[in-house]
Chain A
Amino acid sequence: MQPSARTSTFPRLAFRPGRSRERSSRPFLRFVLRRFGALILLALGITVVAFVLTSVVPGDPAAANLGQQAINDPAAVAAFNHHYGLDKPLPEQYGIYLWHLLHGDLGQSEQNHDAVTHDLSQAIPATAELALFSIFVAVIVGMSLGVLAAVRRNKATDHVLRVVSLGGVSMPTFWIALVALYVFFFRLNWLPGTGRLDAVVLPPPHHTGLYTLDALLSGQWGTFTNAFRHLVLPGCVLAAYNIGLLTRYTRSAVLEVISNDYVRAARAKGLPARIVVPRHVLRAALPGIVTVIGLAFANVMTGSVLVEYVFSWPGIGQYAFHSATTLDLPAIMGVSLFVAVVYVVVNFLVDVLYGVLDARLRVQ
């Protein structure tokens, strides 16, 4: 999955600004409505694709979920198929699914017999906590390193950073994950190993499902520290690819701007570099960088499958993996829908941010 996300990066970058300018010439509300309409169409499309793909796979959910003995018992197979509606014709199954979906019911998971909405409500906050932390780390570190590389172009720092960022984008996530676990947990014991909390620490009372936030809200400082420490390793591993990506992109975006006349003019009128770089250079380079941050979310979504697996993180990635291996159709559909919604929302936010960051777009 990851390679395709990468290859789509650069052509899209080139088109972005133009497209947004055209859109933002229409009223904002209309823009939001259009996006919402697109989301519904996309969601419909996703359900069709997921549904068709899962039924085309030469596998049998009953065989994947029943035991070796039960599968020979026609009564057990019939009971299974009836329970999950698999005994109905495909179009009817799909119709029923859509009808339930309209009522907010995503069906029942075949692998663990839970409501898919319940499973998602548990898994989404776990992944969200990891993803937000990881994006935060990636943005701060990636952009800082990128600016550093740009202003020290062709110096030793730049060369070192190039190797580092290349490492970030080219090392397989699961490998970094295992190495990180070995070094920081097993060898140095600086950070805890797997899971969201130590086994003996109870989860904080449920407010948002993000353990760090929930612990703070309920004033459990010990639980917060524990949850945060558990977040550090998987979060940084997940950020590695995006740090590399952001470093490289920020470097080239800053270099493009830094040699402009207005930067030279700002310097000539005596403004110190500490003002010129953030206010003049970075500000102008930011719209492009924001696009990359949007794409970084896509990388986090794909990367989370491996990272969550290695770190036993009970999030969307693990859930998707288990659903796929047991041909758990309701769960596969639930995950696909969720991922589609995230993509659309992130793209939407990126487009809105353009308006905020680039005054020219707002004027139009």
Chain B
Amino acid sequence: MHQRLRAALRRPSLAFALVALVVLAAAAAATAAQRGHAASSTLVVDKSFDLKTADPQRQFEPTGGIVDKALYDTLLQFKGADVAHPLPDVATSFKASKDARTYTFTLRKNIKFTDGTPLTSADVVFSFNRLVNLKGNPSFLLAGITTTAKGPYTVVLHSSTPNPAIPAIVANTSLGIVNSKLVKAHGGSDAKNADKVDKAESFLNSTSAGSGPYTLKSYNVTSQVVLQANPSYWGPKPKFQTVIIRNVTAPAQLLDVQRGTNEIALDLSPAQAGGLKNVNVEKTPSANVFFLFANQNPKVSTVSSNPHIVNAIRYALDYSGAVKLAGAGAIHATGVIPSMFLGALKSSPVKQDIAKAKAEVKASGISNPTLDIEYPSDITSNGLSFGVLAQKVQADLQKVGITVNLKGSPVATSLNTYRAGTEQLGLWYWGPDYPDPNDYLVFTPGATVGLRAGWAAGQLPSLEALAKKAAVATDPAQRTSLYRSIGTQIDTKGPFFPLIQPGQVVATSKNLTNAPFNVLYWLNVAAVGSH
């Protein structure tokens, strides 16, 4: 019977064959048609999305930053990879008072928003007040700073404390200047209670209200954002008429950038970028500083707060091994301040010294010191997972007789213990909020991150005095020397052990030019060129 039944197979297998045929035919037929279809005036940027919003005053994530950099102008801006020298944008010049509390910006007069409305000081005041009063992620940037207009083309920023970081802060994309008339007409508010009454976010997620080189064509938080060149832009015209920023995971980016033209991949790890051929690959150190800390609060742990154990950890860590682990482009973090910022240390004052570390463990008088290390287990930054780095720390400390238990948990959970200051050892990173060393005073005793490591005010008075001075110093040379002293003290006496700055990779199609990584903006799409 089976033999005769075979004849019947024709039907189901025919169906199968037909489906396979249709699929393959459609695939093959369309392949040719699609090739070269990517219009030459379209730039495609692959980014693993962390997009929450395109509203500049609510936005504080890398993807949102790339979008808003293209849509909105800021008072000052950074160009290329540089983040040390703010250059004119909307403001043609600025003057700082001697005490670094008052900054007066003179605005360019020929700027118009896309609807034809001229950009004036009222728009700057509205945007900055809205930023503060929305009480969102980026609001802290202007904490203690008031913005006032002095005539239609002059804006004055006044800070309650001396603030030499203001020029770097106003270059942030969250301080993008919106068309106040248009935003108000769509429910926007800069009033004190803007966090409750402002309804402009959905409008700003569908239409851009800026004067930047691009306008928003379409916006989808999970798939892609499309930007269209702004025909009335006052500055140099961007090379690409359309920019598409797509949500793509790193492994797929790797394939895309090798296949396409006019493609940029922003999330490749140094290891992934290693084997790339016929693609421009730029590897630079990221401004994210990965660090380990030992909690100084004896209530959290009498082991981690023991000064000898702190020193033992400092000298037991294999810093160059950690750099190797992170891959090409990574460097040893010389201090908590990243290498490209003012005041960064040229080299680290700490080197691995196993004998010294062992002696410190002995001097502590603690037998079999054991510590828990906590870290976000679900985060990979620049291709480096915290779990791998934690294992390296565990192995390093094991060599000097300190037992480390790995206690990784998802970031939504581990952030809580980190913020509460209850982690014995913590492995985290700090990314810059704005490119100025002021942002790193949080690592001193009694400050935000210091407290997370149980480092209360009064535990290192000499450092605290330096920090107070640095916060208000205005002279660049004096600031450099103050921040270097701070860095040295944290490295040699503090409970923080800066490990690495991982490598940041930007991979672009061979035909693209001028797409450097900027630690503040990631990528300025308007500057990308091609040949």
Contacts and interface: CB of A to CB of B under 8 A. Distances in A.
Contact of B244 (A57, A59, A145, A199): A199
Interface of B: 1-2, 4-13, 15-16, 19, 23-24, 26-31, 33-34, 37-39, 42, 44, 51-53, 58, 60, 134-140, 143, 195-196, 201-202, 205, 220-224, 242, 244, 246-249, 251-252, 255-256, 258-259, 378, 410-413, 415-416, 419, 430, 433, 448
Nearest to B245: A199
B37 A200 contact: yes
Contact of B259 (A65, A75, A193, A314): A193
Given A148-B13, A191-B27, A200-B38, A272 B8 contact: yes
Interface string A138-154: 00110111011001110
Minimum-distance CB pairs A-B, first 10:
A59-B412, A144-B12, A273-B8, A79-B135, A314-B222, A314-B223, A277-B8, A274-B8, A273-B5, A112-B221
A122 B413 CA distance: 29
Nearest to A75: B135
Contacts of A160: none
B413 A274 contact: no
Contact of B4 (A64, A222, A236, A273): A273
Given A111-B52, A312-B246, 8 more contacts: A58-B413, A58-B416, A141-B19, A200-B37, A200-B44, A200-B244, A222-B33, A309-B249
A361 B410 CA distance: 51
SS of B interface (majority): helix
25 contacts: A57-B413, A63-B415, A69-B137, A76-B135, A79-B195, A112-B222, A113-B201, A123-B222, A144-B15, A147-B12, A151-B6, A181-B255, A190-B27, A194-B248, A194-B252, A200-B242, A232-B27, A236-B23, A272-B8, A273-B7, A277-B9, A312-B223, A312-B247, A312-B252, A314-B247
B412 A140 contact: no
Contacts of B137: 66-67, 69-70, 76
Contact of A193 (B58, B247, B255): B255
A114 B205 CA distance: 10
Given A67-B60, A199-B44, A232 B23 contact: yes
Contacts of A194: 246, 248-249, 252, 256
Nearest to A111: B52
Interface of A: 57-60, 63-73, 75-76, 78-80, 82-83, 111-114, 119, 122-123, 137, 140-141, 143-145, 147-148, 151-153, 178, 181-182, 185-186, 189-196, 198-200, 222, 225-226, 228-229, 232, 236, 264, 267, 272-278, 309-312, 314, 318-319, 322, 325-327
A209 to B, nearest CB: 13
B134 to A, nearest CB: 8
Nearest to B30: A225
Contacts of B13: 144, 148
A137 B195 CA distance: 50
A254 B249 CA distance: 43
Nearest to B263: A199
Contact of B135 (A73, A190, A310): A73
A327 B413 CA distance: 10
A213 to B, nearest CB: 15
A346 to B, nearest CB: 23
Contacts of A311: 252
Given A181-B255, A199-B38, A319 B140 contact: no
Contact of A318 (B26, B44, B138, B222): B222
Contact of A274 (B2, B10, B433): B10
A114 B221 contact: yes
A122 B378 contact: no
A198 B34 contact: yes
A120 B257 CA distance: 30
Contacts of B16: 140-141, 144-145
B379 to A, nearest CB: 10
B186 to A, nearest CB: 15
A178 B253 CA distance: 12
A153 B6 CA distance: 11
A319 B223 CA distance: 11
A198 B259 CA distance: 13
A230 to B, nearest CB: 10
A160 to B, nearest CB: 14
Contact of A310 (B140, B249, B430): B249
Nearest to B29: A225
A274 B14 CA distance: 12
Nearest to B14: A144
A69 B249 CA distance: 27
Nearest to B430: A68
B38 A198 contact: yes
Contacts of B246: 194-195, 199, 312
Given A57-B413, A200-B38, A276 B23 contact: no
Given A113-B53, A189-B259, A314-B223, A73 B10 contact: no
A200 B39 contact: yes
A182 B117 CA distance: 50
Contacts of A272: 4, 7-8
B496 to A, nearest CB: 15
A143 B12 contact: yes
A185 B31 CA distance: 11
A278 B11 contact: yes
A17 B6 CA distance: 30
Contacts of A229: 26-27, 30-31, 34
A73 B139 contact: yes
Contacts of A140: 15-16, 19
A325 B52 contact: no
A186 B137 CA distance: 39
Contacts of A277: 5, 8-9, 11
Given A76-B140, A226-B34, A267-B1, A71 B419 contact: yes
Contacts of B256: 193-194
Contacts of A71: 419
Contacts of A196: 223
A208 B433 CA distance: 42
